[in-house]
């Protein structure tokens, strides 16, 4: 791999993760399939979030391990990458904020003001995932993962310098420890009682190990660890994994209950696809999948709006278009609408906003005296 080159197959893989989560969100409300194997695989679509976090850790290490970016540039680039669409997704879902004003007493009014202020504050500063009671309010059922990502982004400069100094053996030990930390919550829920509030699913600290496994995966490749097998092994691993989900899907709790096998499989797929070779990599690196990968952040971010609209107007939609009472057709139609909306968001909002933020940053830098900058990969903030 060359550091200056985009890994096209991983760009396509981003859409696969977003698409799996989309199918999951549709299926749990309007079942797409009643076949036991297919149903179980769709029921576990939240595993796509683990792919998001691990892929994010891999890609950020790939981009910033060379030490050419300053800490400030890194943070601004992350802000420019996620915040504009994040704000738009929050604004368009305001009608579903879920805090009703009840003007019965001064105490009720003050409580409503406090709820609204705290929810808005938490969302502005991307800390909503730490407060599990927010999950059913506003856009938080969709944006909690952005809160997790922000947490991982902030921590990466603290971890990356040490990880860059690690040997191959140490990287594998760190990845193994992270795997164990990610497996323990699901194991505890299986052996004892499952928490009902999703603490292990959306709390950032429990998702950090997945991000770090992704980071270690790239750094191992950077040290010379290579994929020496063909595409047949990739396909065999994928088929075996989905057969496992199809058979054992409902037996493990909290979605993260499958981490014991899901995380190694995801790490293997990211690792084996990173050289852009093989049948699976060729498909994901095709122009169409790369384009889908580029709009995948909008695709993921606008899912909440589409789902909330469907929940609110599903019955009326069926009256207008009875064919959509077939859940498969409903999923296809929803997918088409979401792709169009995502492409519009990417070209009209995400990319223009990102370019403007970066251009503004460069213009400000030109006006200032050049001072020595702290490298992301060489020291901590």
pLDDT tens string 133-190: 888 899 888 899 999 999 999 999 999 999 999 999 999 999 999 999 999 998 888 8
CA distances from 177 to 67, 100, 208, 269, 294 (A): 26, 44, 12, 20, 32
Identify the domain containing residue 64 by its residue range: 8-367
Band (59; pLDDT cuts 50, 70, 90): very high
Residue 11 above 90 pLDDT?
yes
CA gap 240, 261 in Å, rounded: 11
Kindly state whether residue 372 falls inside one of the protein's structural domains: no
The sign of the CA dihedral 239, 241, 245, 248 is positive
Partnered with residue 375 across adjacent β-strands are: 70
More confident residue, 248 or 294: 294
Residue 381 above 70 pLDDT?
no
Kindly state the percentage of the chain with pLDDT values over 70.
Answer: 92
Confidence at residue 362, expressed as pLDDT on a 0 to 100 scale: 80
Round the average pLDDT of the chain to a whole number and report it. Answer: 91
Confidence at residue 88, expressed as pLDDT on a 0 to 100 scale: 97
Phi and psi for 368 in degrees, rounded to 5?
A: -95, 160
Confidence at residue 252, expressed as pLDDT on a 0 to 100 scale: 67
Please provide the DSSP assignment of 178-219 as one string.
HHHHHHHHHHHHHHSPPPTT-HHHH-HHHHHHHHHHHHHHHH
Kindly state whether residue 253 falls inside one of the protein's structural domains: yes
Confidence at residue 128, expressed as pLDDT on a 0 to 100 scale: 95
- Total domains, the chain: 1
Kindly state whether residue 162 falls inside one of the protein's structural domains: yes
Neighbours of 41 (CB within 10 A): 24
Residue 63 above 50 pLDDT?
yes
Confidence at residue 1, expressed as pLDDT on a 0 to 100 scale: 43
Summarize the confidence of residues 369-378 as an average pLDDT. 60
144, 128 contact by CB (below 8 A): yes
For 99: left if phi > 0, alpha if psi spans -120 to 50, otherwise beta; the answer is: beta
CA gap 264, 270 in Å, rounded: 10
Name the residue among 40, 292, 65 with its Cα closest to residue 161: 65
Buried b (16+ CB within 10 A) or exposed e, 14-34: bbbbbbbbbbbbbbeebebbe
Could you read off the pLDDT of 219-274 as tens digits, one per residue? Answer: 999 999 988 888 889 999 999 999 999 998 666 666 788 999 999 999 999 999 99
Band (378; pLDDT cuts 50, 70, 90): low
Kindly state whether residue 27 falls inside one of the protein's structural domains: yes
Kindly state whether residue 373 falls inside one of the protein's structural domains: no
Buried b (16+ CB within 10 A) or exposed e, 290-306: bebbbbbbbbbbbbbbb
Neighbours of 77 (CB within 10 A): 19
Band (3; pLDDT cuts 50, 70, 90): very low
Kindly state whether residue 45 falls inside one of the protein's structural domains: yes
Could you read off the pLDDT of 93-147 as tens digits, one per residue? Answer: 999 998 876 667 888 888 889 999 999 999 999 999 999 888 889 988 889 999 9
CA gap 279, 277 in Å, rounded: 7
Kindly state whether residue 359 falls inside one of the protein's structural domains: yes
Kindly state whether residue 194 falls inside one of the protein's structural domains: yes
Residue 201 burial by Cβ neighbours in a 10 Å radius (0-12, 13-18, 19+) = buried
Could you read off the pLDDT of 305-340 as tens digits, one per residue? Answer: 999 999 999 999 999 999 999 999 999 999 999 999
CA gap 181, 179 in Å, rounded: 5
> Terminus-to-terminus CA distance in the chain, angstroms?
28
Kindly state the percentage of the chain with pLDDT values over 90.
Answer: 73
Residue count of the chain: 381
Confidence at residue 251, expressed as pLDDT on a 0 to 100 scale: 67
Band (18; pLDDT cuts 50, 70, 90): very high
More confident residue, 267 or 191: 267
CA gap 230, 280 in Å, rounded: 10
């Amino acid at each position: 791999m060359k550091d200056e080159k985009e890994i096209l197959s991983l760009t396509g893989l981003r859409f696969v993760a977003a698409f799996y989560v989309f199918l999951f969100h549709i299926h749990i409300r309007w079942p797409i399939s009643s076949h036991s194997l297919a149903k179980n695989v769709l029921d576990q679509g939240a595993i796509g979030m683990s792919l998001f976090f691990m892929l994010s850790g891999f890609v950020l290490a790939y981009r910033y391990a060379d030490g050419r970016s300053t800490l400030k540039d890194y943070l601004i680039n992350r802000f420019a990458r996620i915040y504009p669409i994040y704000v738009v997704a929050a604004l368009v879902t305001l009608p579903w904020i879920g805090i009703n004003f009840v003007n019965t007493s001064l105490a009720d009014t003050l409580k409503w003001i406090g709820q609204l202020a705290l929810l808005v504050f938490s969302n502005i500063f991307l800390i909503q995932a730490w407060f599990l009671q927010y999950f059913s309010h506003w856009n938080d059922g969709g944006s909690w993962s952005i809160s997790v990502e922000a947490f991982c982004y902030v921590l990466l400069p603290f971890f990356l310098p040490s990880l860059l100094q690690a040997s191959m053996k140490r990287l594998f030990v760190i990845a193994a420890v992270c795997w164990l930390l990610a497996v323990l919550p699901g194991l505890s829920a299986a052996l004892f009682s499952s928490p009902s509030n999703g603490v292990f699913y959306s709390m950032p600290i429990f998702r950090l190990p997945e991000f770090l496994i992704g980071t270690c995966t790239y750094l191992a490749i950077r040290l010379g660890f290579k994929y020496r097998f063909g595409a047949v092994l990739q396909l065999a691993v994928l088929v075996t994994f989905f057969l496992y989900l199809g058979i054992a899907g409902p037996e493990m709790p909290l979605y993260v209950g499958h981490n014991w096998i899901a995380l190694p499989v995801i790490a293997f797929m990211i690792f084996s696809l990173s050289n852009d070779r093989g049948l699976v990599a060729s498909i994901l690196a095709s122009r169409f999948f790369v384009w889908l990968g580029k709009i995948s952040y909008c695709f993921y971010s606008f899912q909440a709006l589409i789902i909330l609209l469907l929940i609110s107007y599903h019955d009326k939609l069926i009256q207008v278009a009875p064919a959509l009472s077939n859940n498969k057709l409903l999923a296809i139609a929803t997918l088409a609408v979401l792709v169009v909306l995502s492409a519009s968001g990417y070209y009209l909002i995400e990319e223009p906003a990102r370019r403007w933020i970066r251009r503004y940053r460069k213009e400000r830098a030109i006006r200032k005296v050049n001072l020595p900058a702290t490298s992301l990969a060489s020291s901590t903030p």
